Chains A and B, each alone.
Chain A
Amino acid sequence: MRRYLRRIIQSLSALFLNGYWYFPISRTIYQGQLKSICSPGLNCHSCPAAITACPLGAIQNFMAGIRASVEAARYHFGFYVLGWLGIIGGLVGRMPCGWICPFGLIQDLLFKIPGRKIRIPDIFSYGPYIFLALTIFILPIWVVDAFGYGFLWFCKFICPAGTLEAGLPLLILQPTLYGMVGHLFYIKVAVLFFFFTWSVLASRPFCRTVCPLGAFYSFFNRASLFQLKYHPEKCTHCELCYQDCPVDIKFYESPNDIRCIRCLVCLRESCAFGAISWEMGGIEGQSSRPKTSLVNSQLSLVKKTQLPDLTNDQ
């Protein structure tokens, strides 16, 4: 149960965030008041089952309409969404990536498919920040149509979650839309399959190379209320945490690294020596536990047998 806790929470989150199961009958998307709240993870609000708004879609809408908003003296700058994401980030950093995001769950499941695995070069870790700056803020504000409105660059040209959760299901629900499908949609489907394939080979490629939402949360990792703590006196540098880490972080070199998605695999499953613990607002959490009962029994055996000091020549 302990081992599957994260998977259970991820699955329940995905089901909850996409909890409008009446859509096969209504043949349209959910239109209730819950959609004024943004999901903590990447979840397209054009998905027929989605009951919350996508934070990236919402921010882009604000940025795209910022000129028109100022001209109309409405002054909508996206403070509501940015504030909401900042509160989450200030509390737990990137934890929603590891525990709530439905697209993260899909990538995690694809990575379970057995086969040859590859690591993602560190240079790609700059990608999410470039996509955050360009596609979420700069381009939607800068490139506008004749009426002063910008485009939702990330949603329109990149987002594979939108293609999977909204584009494809809407085409199934409303076959009349087939006539509107153009080259752009085929490119987006290719992007989706590219990330699906990459997810089988490498862990969380979309989160690590593209996701602007993860990039936003990452700014809070080192300053959030929730912090992971490293106890160097207990660490043996066995690198089990590094081997199990879905984003290839050596915890002992960089606790609370900005790339860390706070999945807590290192704390809950990898570390057998209690070198990792957590803290939230001054409240200390439990430290890491041995991975298997075998390690447990070995450690207790060492303590009980009181091995003689082999360095003593006498």
Chain B
Amino acid sequence: MRKGPFIIIGVFLLLCLMGTVTGEVRYVLEKAVSICLDCIGIG
């Protein structure tokens, strides 16, 4: 069985956890719940 994909998934899982620990989930939520008119070309 190839080990490469499991290593890749493990590395990115670690990256995802690092982001979660540093509060990035909250940052994503804050940005996604507000309408950024400038970002969609209005205003």
Please report B residues at the A interface, Cβ cutoff 8 Å. 1-2, 4-6, 8-9, 11-20, 22-29, 31-33, 35-43
Contact = CB atoms under 8 A, between A and B. Distances in A.
22 contacts: A29-B33, A35-B32, A62-B24, A75-B22, A76-B19, A76-B24, A79-B19, A79-B22, A80-B25, A81-B28, A83-B16, A85-B12, A87-B9, A89-B8, A90-B12, A152-B39, A155-B40, A156-B40, A171-B42, A223-B8, A282-B1, A282-B2
> In terms of DSSP, what is the predominant structure of the interface of chain B?
helix
Nearest to A35: B32
Interface in A144-197: 152, 155-157, 159, 162-163, 166-167, 170-171, 177, 180-182, 184-185, 187-188
Interface of A: 28-33, 35-36, 38, 44-46, 52-54, 57-58, 61-62, 74-87, 89-91, 152, 155-157, 159, 162-163, 166-167, 170-171, 177, 180-182, 184-185, 187-188, 220, 223-225, 281-282
B8 A90 contact: yes
A36 B15 CA distance: 16
Contact of A74 (B23, B29, B32, B43): B23
A281 B5 contact: yes
A170 B42 contact: yes
Nearest to B1: A282
Contact of B35 (A29, A61, A75): A29
B40 A80 contact: no
Given A83-B14, A162-B40, A38 B28 contact: yes
B27 to A, nearest CB: 6
B34 to A, nearest CB: 8
> In terms of DSSP, what is the predominant structure of the interface of chain A?
helix
Nearest to B31: A61
| Residue from the set A54, A90, A155 with the largest chain B CB neighbour count within 10 Å | A90
Contact of A223 (B4, B31, B33, B42): B4
B8 to A, nearest CB: 4
A44 B42 CA distance: 14
**Shortest Cβ-Cβ A-B pairs, 4 listed:** A80-B19, A83-B16, A86-B12, A83-B15
Contacts of B27: 61-62, 76
A36 to B, nearest CB: 4
Given A36-B32, A79-B22, A223-B4, A44 B40 contact: yes
Given A86-B12, A91-B9, A181-B42, A46 B29 contact: no
Contacts of B6: 225, 281
A58 B31 contact: yes
Contact of B41 (A28, A74, A185, A281): A185
Given A61-B31, A79-B18, A225 B40 contact: no
Nearest to A28: B35
Contacts of A33: 29
Nearest to A152: B39
Nearest to B16: A83
B41 A167 contact: yes
A163 B8 contact: no
A280 to B, nearest CB: 9
B29 A167 contact: no
A88 B12 CA distance: 9
B2 to A, nearest CB: 8
